[in-house]
Amino acid sequence: MRDVAVIGVGARPTGRLADCGLKELAYPAIWNALDDAGVGVDDLDVAYVGNSIAGLLTGQEGIRGQVVLQHSGISGIPVINVENACASGATAFRGAWLEVASGAADVALAVGVEKMFVDDSARTISALSGVSELELSQMGMQFTTSYAIHPKINLKARMDEYGWTLEDFAKPAVKNSYNGSLNPLAQHRKPRTIEEVVQSRVVVDPLTLLMCSSISDGAGAAILCSADMAKRFTSKDTIRVASCVLRSGHYKLRDYDGPDTATLCAQAAYEEAGVGPEDLDAIELHDAMAPSELMLYERLGLCGPGDGPRLIDDELTTLNGRVPVNPSGGLCSRGHPVGATGLLQIAELVTQMRGEAGDRQIEKRPKVTLAQNQGGLLMGQDSAVYSTTILTT
């Protein structure tokens, strides 16, 4: 495998973008990434386009990638459409990485785009349910529920097991809302207090509204090339993809007592990259429900069981802590346009590693960073998709 570099990223502000369909959402992010990389459309060898639910919501069920790329001025090259639930973006990124790593392509584009604000939010919620296995969504299973009581995470049980409180659950949301308040790309820019988060409306007991990521429109993009070609396009620091690991969920019988799949995915990414959790300088992780960040600290190897809230109390994961987590504001503040999220994470980390993050710049410029993205829900008690990517300068 060849060394692969990320030489350009693009992200557009997320939020309710009423006048934008998929095409209008995607092209500014794609153009930003191309310009950032110093790459022209003729330099591109291949493109991967991640999207999850626009088929159901807009009726554009097929060829979504070709449609948004043609609208952006890109045609003729191979285009691969990627649907992998809330990890569609990370999966598109992996496809582009693999093309370059394998030598099949020299320059590859990865795009993630999602249009979630439509006429009726019930339609969006139902479409989102569709990224769970049908037998679950037909019974009314929702993502909020899966975080609250699903055996894979069961935040409610963590309250008993670890003594975590609603205030603990609110801590990641509060921390990330501060980061988001500094991010001009973020959907929600109001810094929140513990009281506000705890006292906001209950969505699914014990999760309140401000603990949940919200519906969002958005797009992100990245340009990858063979690391030895990077300087041909850009004078900026070369950021390498040290590992890019994608896993699917395991069918877990009730007596399963092996490691969680997010843990296995992270371990594989650390091993491939030759780094450990202690080496990380920044993390963007999948806090679709804020308290899940506390569980992900464990699964990424940052702390032992139950110690998550302490990492925030001790300011280890705040913007200028030892390992800042979700400097962008994360899914709850920056926004979670599901198929775009994986690429928005990559865009944020690259921006931070180059020292270009403005008000939210981590003072000590990160050199080793990790993006964690996941999605979907299977029968058999596991999420469908897990992704961990490690970037280094």
Partner 1 sequence: MELLNPKDVRISAEAGATPCLVGAQCGECGAVVFPRLPVCPKCKKRDGMTEVEIGRTAKLYSHTIARFAPTGFRAPFFQVFVDLPEGPRIFSLVGDDCPAESGVLEDGMEMRLVVEPLADTDEMRAIHTYKYVPAACADERRGDAQDA
The upper half-sphere exposure of residue 82, i.e. CA atoms within 13 Å in the direction of its Cβ, equals 32
The Cα 36–Cα 14 span in angstroms is: 19
Does 190 engage in binding with partner 1 (CB under 8 A)?
A: no
Does 393 engage in binding with partner 1 (CB under 8 A)?
A: no
Contact characters 201-230, partner 1, x per CB under 8 A: xxxxxx------------------------
The upper half-sphere exposure of residue 169, i.e. CA atoms within 13 Å in the direction of its Cβ, equals 29
Among 137, 200, 248, 393, binds partner 1 (CB under 8 A): 137
Does 136 engage in binding with partner 1 (CB under 8 A)?
A: yes
Does 189 engage in binding with partner 1 (CB under 8 A)?
A: no
The Cα 369–Cα 270 span in angstroms is: 11
* Residues noted as catalytic: 86, 336
Does 129 engage in binding with partner 1 (CB under 8 A)?
A: yes
Nearest distance from C-beta of residue 336 to partner 1, angstroms: 16
Does 261 engage in binding with partner 1 (CB under 8 A)?
A: no
Does 259 engage in binding with partner 1 (CB under 8 A)?
A: no
Does 159 engage in binding with partner 1 (CB under 8 A)?
A: no
CB-based contacts of 42, cutoff 8 Å, min separation 6: none
- Using the minimum distance from each CB to partner 1, give the nearer residue, 251 or 278: 251
- Using the minimum distance from each CB to partner 1, give the nearer residue, 19 or 160: 160
Does 139 engage in binding with partner 1 (CB under 8 A)?
A: yes
Nearest distance from C-beta of residue 376 to partner 1, angstroms: 15
Nearest distance from C-beta of residue 114 to partner 1, angstroms: 18
Nearest distance from C-beta of residue 134 to partner 1, angstroms: 9
Both tokens of residue 339? Answer: 């198929």
Does 388 engage in binding with partner 1 (CB under 8 A)?
A: no
Does 380 engage in binding with partner 1 (CB under 8 A)?
A: yes
Q: What's the longest Cα–Cα distance across the chain?
A: 57
Residue 347: name the closest of 14, 72, 24 by CA.
Answer: 14
Does 193 engage in binding with partner 1 (CB under 8 A)?
A: no
Among 12, 64, 115, 150, binds partner 1 (CB under 8 A): 150
Please report, for residues 4, 44, 55, 137, 291, the alpha-carbon distance to residue 109 in angstroms, rounded to integers and kept in the order given.
13, 7, 21, 33, 33
Nearest distance from C-beta of residue 254 to partner 1, angstroms: 5
* CA quadruple 114, 118, 124, 127: dihedral sign: negative
Both tokens of residue 325? Answer: 């987590």
- Using the minimum distance from each CB to partner 1, give the nearer residue, 44 or 331: 331
Please report, for residues 35, 163, 232, 290, 365, the alpha-carbon distance to residue 186 in angstroms, rounded to integers and kept in the order given.
21, 32, 32, 16, 21
Does 148 engage in binding with partner 1 (CB under 8 A)?
A: yes
Please report, for residues 49, 67, 130, 165, 222, the alpha-carbon distance to residue 23 in angstroms, rounded to integers and kept in the order given.
12, 7, 23, 43, 17
Whether cis (ω within 30° of 0) applies to the bond prior to 277 is no
Please report, for residues 189, 249, 336, the alpha-carbon distance to residue 70 in angstroms, rounded to integers and kept in the order given.
33, 34, 25
Nearest distance from C-beta of residue 128 to partner 1, angstroms: 8
Stretch (H or E) spanning 54: helix 54-58
Dihedral angle over CA of 130, 132, 133, 138, nearest 10 = -60
Residues 94-123 that bind partner 1 (CB under 8 A): 122-123
User: Parallel, antiparallel, or unpaired: how do β-strands 382-392 and 239-248 relate?
Assistant: antiparallel
The Cα 391–Cα 280 span in angstroms is: 10
Contact characters 323-362, partner 1, x per CB under 8 A: ----------------------------------------
Contact characters 279-298, partner 1, x per CB under 8 A: --------------------
Does 163 engage in binding with partner 1 (CB under 8 A)?
A: no
| Binding residue count for partner 1, defined by CB under 8 A | 35
Does 381 engage in binding with partner 1 (CB under 8 A)?
A: yes
| Residues at the site binding partner 1, with contacts judged by CB under 8 A | 122-123, 125-126, 129, 135-142, 144-145, 148-151, 154, 156-157, 201-206, 251, 253-255, 379-381
